[in-house]
A and B are shown apart, each in its own frame.
Chain A
Amino acid sequence: MKLSTTREALSAQLQAVTRVASTHTAVLALSGVQLHAAAGTVELRATDLEVGLRVPLEATPERDGDVVLPARLLLDVVRSLPSDAVTLELRAAEQDVEITSGGAVFHIRTLRAEDFPPLPEAPGDSTVSVPARAFVDTVQTVARAASRDETRPVLTGILVSASGRELQMVATDSYRLSVKRTELEEALEGSFEANVPARALQELARLAQGGEDRLTVGVGANQIVFQVGGAVLSSRLIDGQFPNYRQLVPESFDHELKLAGDEFTEVVRRISLLAQKNAPLRLAFVEGEVTVSAQTPDVGEARETVPVPYSGEPLEIGFNPDFLRDGLESLGGGDVVLKLINPLRPGLIEGADGSGFLYLIMPIRLNV
C-alpha cells in the first residue's frame, strides 16, 4: 500500500476515526486505524466492536492494500508533520509504514491486519432517508439523559423512532427522562424503531456537522448503519426492553409555572457552582417567588431569589444541579414551563412553545 495525501485531509479524517477506535482492548488491532486503498479510493476505518466508522480520505493511492496503524500515535504524528504533502508507504519486510513529509521520516510498526474485523458496507436498499439537521438536533436534545452506567446497557441507548412526518427520540438514566418529538417537513419513505447506543449517535452528530442535507439509515436485526456524506457509521443495537416511558409521566401536576428560560437557566448555572460533592440544588417556592440555593460543607453557599408566578403552600424541592441544568439547556432558550407535584414526585420541564420536548426529572430528598 502506498498513497499520497495532505496533512490537513489526513488529520481531519483521522480525528474522526480515532474517537471510535478502542482505548481499552486486549486485541491491539482494535486500537488502530485501518488504511484501506483499493480501486483508486482510500478509506480510513476504526471500530471498538460496538461502533464502527469508515470515512473516505482524499488521497492518491499508488499501490492498493490494507494496513492497521496505532490510531492515537498516527494522529499525533500527522498533526506534527512539517509539510502539507504526506506520503505513506507500507514496508512489508520491516512490518512498518514509512510516513514522509518534508524532511521528516517516520517508521511506525503496523498492527496485525488479520485481527481487524470487516466493517459493514453502506446501507443497502431497505433504508430510510432522514433530514440530517433534524436528526442531529433531536439527538443533541436528548443525549444527555442517556445513562453512562454499563451495568444497565438498555439505558445507555437512545430509543429512536421514525415514521411518517415524526421523528422521536427518548433517553433515560432512571433519574431523568428526555423525550423529543420532531415534526419533519416531509413524510419519510419507510419507518424504523431502534435502541441505538447514545455514543454512536453522538458520533453521528459530529459527522453530520459537515452540512449534509440528509442521512441514510439502514436497520438490521442487531445492527444499524448510517451513511452521511461519504462516511459510514455502524453500531450494534442494544438488546432488551426499553422502559415504558409513557407511563412515567404523571397525568397531572399541582403547580405549573411559566418561567423565562434563559434567565432561569443562568440562575441555576450560577447557584450550581456552590452545589458540589453531590449537594442538591434547592428550589424554595413561596407566593410569587422562588429562591434557588445551594450549600457545600467547607466550601460555601449561594442563593438567588427570582420572581415566579407561584401560588399556594410553600414548597421546597431539591434537584441534582447537573440534571436540572441539562434539562433547561436542552430546551435551547425560550420560555419554560416547570410542573411540580411535591418534593418526592418528578418534576417536568417543557418548552412553552410546544416544541415537542419534555424532560422529566426526579428530585433529591432534602434532609432539612
Chain B
Amino acid sequence: MRLIVARCEVRYTGRLTAVLPEALRLVMVKSDGSVMVHADTGGYKPSNWMTAPTVIEETPDGMVVRKLRGEDRLEIRIAEVVSDSEHDMGEAAALEKDGVEAHLQEALAAAPEWCGEGFRLVRREWPTDIGPVDLMCRDSEDGWIAVEIKRIGTIEAVEQLTRYLERIRRDPAMADCRGILAAQCVKPQARVLADSRGIAWVEVDLDVLRGEREPDLTLFA
C-alpha cells in the first residue's frame, strides 16, 4: 500500500468530467491497483477514486491512472509531496462476522432445536459453491434444513438463503432441503418474502440461548 500525502489537483475524465482543485490530500494506491483520493473531511468516502483493474503511469507531474478498459482516466498533478511511504500489508484476514452473529451461530449449533423441534446439527458452515450456509441440520424425519443466521433478518438475508437453497437443491439427495432464517429480529418485509418463498423464519434471543435469561413464561407454546 502506497500512501502519498501531497498538495495536488485531481482531474477525472470519462463518463463525466470532474476537477478537485489543488489542496492537501491523501492518495492511497493499493496493491490491487485501486486508487483513492481522500480529503480530511467528507467521511469515509474518497473524494475521487478508480477501482481495479487499472494502469498506473508515473509522470514528472504526478501520476495518471487509467481503467484497463474504457475511457476513465484519473490525472493527479502533484505540486508538493509532504509524505510518500509504502507499506507491506501482508495477507489480508477475511472479514469476521460481527459478534452477535457469530455467537448466535455458536449457540444455535449447540442447540439447533431452537430453530425447530427435533432438529440436529449436521455441520456448521456447510459449503456451497457460492459460499457456506451457516448451519445444515436434519429434522426428526431426516429432512435437510439449511439455516442462515443473522442478527437482523432482512430481505437481503432471505435472498441470500434463497440463493443457497437453489444451489443445495441441485444435489438430488437434497432436493427437498428446507430453509430457515434465524435472527434476533426478523423484519416484517423479510417475513412476507420468506413466507412467499416457503422459507421459515424464527426469532431467537441470544441471552436465552446462552442460558443467561430464562424464556418468558407462557400459557402455551
Contact = CB atoms under 8 A, between A and B. Distances in A.
A316 to B, nearest CB: 15
A346 B216 contact: no
Interface of B: 188, 191, 203, 214, 216-221
B219 A364 contact: no
Interface in A170-217: 172, 174-177
A60 B128 CA distance: 69
Interface of A: 150-151, 172, 174-177, 243, 248, 344, 346, 360, 362-365
Nearest to A344: B217
Contact of A363 (B203, B217, B220): B217
A362 B214 contact: no
A175 B214 contact: no
A175 B216 contact: yes
Contacts of B221: 174
B219 A365 contact: no
Nearest to A155: B220
A365 B217 contact: yes
A150 B220 CA distance: 17
Contacts of A364: 216-217
Given A175-B218, A365-B214, 19 more contacts: A151-B191, A151-B203, A172-B219, A174-B218, A174-B220, A174-B221, A175-B216, A177-B219, A243-B220, A344-B217, A346-B219, A360-B219, A362-B216, A362-B217, A362-B218, A363-B217, A364-B216, A364-B217, A365-B217
A172 B46 CA distance: 55
Contacts of A346: 219
Contacts of B217: 175, 344, 362-365
Q: Give the interface SS of chain B, mostly helix, strand, loop or mixed.
A: loop
A248 B220 CA distance: 8
A360 B216 CA distance: 15
A248 B219 CA distance: 7
A176 B218 CA distance: 8
A151 B195 CA distance: 11
A177 B191 CA distance: 26
Contacts of B219: 172, 174-177, 243, 248, 346, 360, 362
7 contacts: A150-B188, A174-B220, A175-B216, A175-B218, A175-B219, A360-B219, A364-B217
Listed residue (A151, A360, A363) with the most chain B CB atoms within 10 angstroms of its CB: A151
A258 B104 CA distance: 47
B63 to A, nearest CB: 50
A292 to B, nearest CB: 19
B68 to A, nearest CB: 43
A176 B220 CA distance: 10
Contacts of B216: 175, 362, 364
Contacts of A172: 219
Contacts of A176: 219
Q: What 7 pairs between A and B have smallest CB-CB spacing?
A: A174-B218, A362-B217, A248-B219, A365-B214, A243-B220, A362-B219, A174-B219
Listed residue (B191, B218, B219, B220) with the most chain A CB atoms within 10 angstroms of its CB: B219
